[in-house]
């Protein structure tokens, strides 16, 4: 009865101490987020027992506990076994650690058999720590493996929580923002590092897609769990769609890269070489034979020099003779294959009878190889174009045809040696006063033919 009263007194003191951190009139029991933390007090106290104090003390306690739990042949350990296993430690230090583990309930002393037994809480805490150490050892740049492992394990035993899903969702959103900042920076080095980290994150996303799919189709999960899993799916899609953004940013940097003459060296190569140097100032040692001597001039001298330069340029421009005229380079008539193909296609369109029934797109573009069919498809938006119809030439004739192009956002497969699929579309008859659609068609080449 005395022990129970002491525990109650300590509990009341803890409640009063916690109350001091909250505003007046607000009790810790009124905050819903406090309850799960209080419920997990035994586990949190186990972590406190291990990690309270300096790093060396924490390391020693973890070392002793890991060594004791490593012996799985026997569920109990005598003091002689412990002394033998940890013989490399000072007896006083070992006794201090054992006393702390006993007082915090991580290590139980069985007086009837004079042996020590590892508490289940200690094994759970060590298991969590081992998972974190394993993640650090594997160098997971995306830092997603631990959270995904926890979600996968909880899903396997049917106990995944909304908080675990929120942690994973938060990490996905953080990675997306981090990659967006790297793309917006315009720095090639940041882009390369972010792209490598993105590849690591995508590997974990592919592994976690099946887990998220299982959660969304689990009838036992509540609405909050389903909502969190769907949000993770959307975040994963946003993360995977960043590949195009990385490619465009790197291509833009590649176009802007400056090369030094014919040496083959670029500014990126020089920056990479400079980043490898520990002391950039040392590169200038003995590089200059004499110190730089600055020269100063007054504004009046600057005006005199500028005026003389301006007048000399004007005199040379007036005195100079006009250049000798040259004959303009004659340009041959453009008899390209494209124009011949357009004339041939116009003859086919003139013969098309679309008044009774719309003509399918494949009947207009085919038979032809992929290049010719693509060229014909690119001309279809000109049908009914008011600006183009006012011009002369083959394209103007095409624009004035009484045809309209109708397209759907769907594809259909074709039995053609060159075209594997094509948009579902047709050409129909229309009065010249109407305007044709601005839609475009899509072709997919047949990869099976050379």
What value does the mean pLDDT take over residues 310-323? 69
- Helix 162-185 and helix 243-256: axis angle, to 10°? 20
What value does the mean pLDDT take over residues 55-68? 90
Number of C-beta neighbours around residue 220 at 10 A: 7
Q: So what's the pLDDT on residue 319? A: 62
pLDDT digits (tens, 9 = 90+) for 3-24: 434 444 545 566 668 888 888 8
Q: Is 331 a residue whose pLDDT tops 60?
A: no
For residue 23, report the phi and psi dihedrals to the nearest 5 degrees.
-65, 160
CB-based burial, 187-210: b 16+ in 10 Å, e otherwise? ebebbeebbebbebbbebbeebee
What is the Cα 215 distance to its own chain's centre? Answer: 23
Number of C-beta neighbours around residue 376 at 10 A: 21
Candidate ranges 115-119, 219-223, 317-321, 364-368; pick with highest mean pLDDT: 115-119
Q: So what's the pLDDT on residue 323? A: 66
Contact 344, 365 (CB under 8 A): no
Give the containing element (helix H, strand E) for 404. Answer: strand 403-413
pLDDT digits (tens, 9 = 90+) for 248-276: 888 887 777 776 766 677 777 777 888 88
Please give the angle made by the CA atoms of 315, 319 and 324, to the nearest 5 degrees.
Answer: 140
Flag whether the pTM goes above 0.75. no
How many alpha carbons lie under 13 Å from residue 283 in its C-beta half-sphere? 8
Residues of the chain with pLDDT > 90, as a percent, come to 4
d(CA 128, CA 121): 11
pLDDT digits (tens, 9 = 90+) for 185-213: 888 888 888 888 888 888 888 877 888 88
Q: Is 56 a residue whose pLDDT tops 90?
A: yes
Q: So what's the pLDDT on residue 35? A: 87
Could you tell me what percentage of the chain is helix, strand and coil, using 3-state DSSP and rounding each to the nearest 5? Answer: 60, 10, 30
Give me 236's structure tokens: 């994963």
Tell me the domains of the chain and their CATH numbers.
Answer: 12-126 (1.10.10.10), 138-248 (no CATH), 340-445 (no CATH)
Q: So what's the pLDDT on residue 432? A: 59
């Amino acid at each position: 009865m005395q022990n129970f009263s002491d525990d109650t007194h300590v509990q009341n003191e803890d409640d009063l101490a916690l109350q001091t951190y909250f505003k007046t009139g607000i009790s810790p029991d009124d905050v819903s987020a406090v309850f799960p933390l209080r419920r997990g007090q035994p586990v949190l106290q186990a972590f406190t027992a291990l990690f309270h104090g300096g790093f060396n003390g924490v390391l020693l306690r973890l070392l002793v506990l890991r060594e004791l739990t490593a012996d799985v042949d026997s569920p109990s350990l005598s003091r002689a076994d412990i002394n033998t296993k940890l013989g490399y430690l000072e007896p006083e230090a070992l006794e201090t650690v054992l006393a702390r583990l006993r007082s915090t309930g991580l290590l139980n002393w069985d007086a009837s058999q004079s042996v020590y037994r590892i508490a289940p809480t200690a094994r759970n805490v060590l298991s969590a720590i081992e998972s974190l150490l394993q993640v650090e050892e594997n160098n997971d740049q995306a830092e997603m493996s631990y959270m995904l492992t926890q979600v996968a394990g909880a899903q396997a035993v049917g106990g995944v929580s909304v908080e675990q899903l929120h942690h994973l969702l938060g990490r996905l959103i953080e990675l997306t923002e981090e990659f967006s900042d790297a793309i917006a920076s315009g720095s090639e080095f940041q882009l390369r590092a972010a792209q490598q980290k993105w590849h690591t994150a995508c590997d974990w996303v592919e592994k976690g897609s099946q887990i998220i799919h299982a959660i969304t189709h689990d009838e036992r999960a509540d609405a909050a769990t389903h909502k969190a899993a769907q949000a993770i799916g959307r975040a994963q899609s946003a993360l995977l769609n960043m590949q195009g953004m990385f490619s465009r940013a790197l291509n833009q940097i590649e176009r802007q890269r400056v090369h030094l003459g014919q040496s083959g060296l670029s500014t990126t190569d020089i920056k990479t070489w400079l980043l490898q140097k520990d002391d950039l100032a040392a590169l200038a040692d003995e590089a200059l034979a004499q110190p730089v001597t600055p020269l100063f001039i007054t504004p009046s001298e600057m005006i005199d020099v500028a005026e003389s330069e301006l007048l000399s340029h004007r005199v040379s421009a007036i005195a100079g003779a006009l250049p000798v005229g040259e004959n303009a380079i004659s340009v041959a008539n453009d008899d390209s294959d494209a124009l011949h193909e357009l004339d041939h296609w116009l003859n086919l369109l003139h013969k098309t009878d679309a008044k009774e029934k719309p003509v399918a797109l494949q009947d207009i573009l085919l038979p032809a190889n992929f290049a010719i069919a693509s060229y014909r498809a690119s001309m279809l938006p000109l049908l009914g174009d008011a600006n183009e119809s006012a011009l002369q030439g083959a394209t103007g004739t095409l624009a004035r045809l009484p045809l309209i192009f109708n397209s759907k956002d769907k594809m259909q497969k074709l039995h053609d040696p060159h075209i594997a699929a094509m948009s579902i579309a047709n050409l129909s008859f229309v009065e010249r006063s109407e305007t044709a659609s601005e839609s475009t068609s899509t072709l997919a080449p047949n990869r099976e033919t050379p």
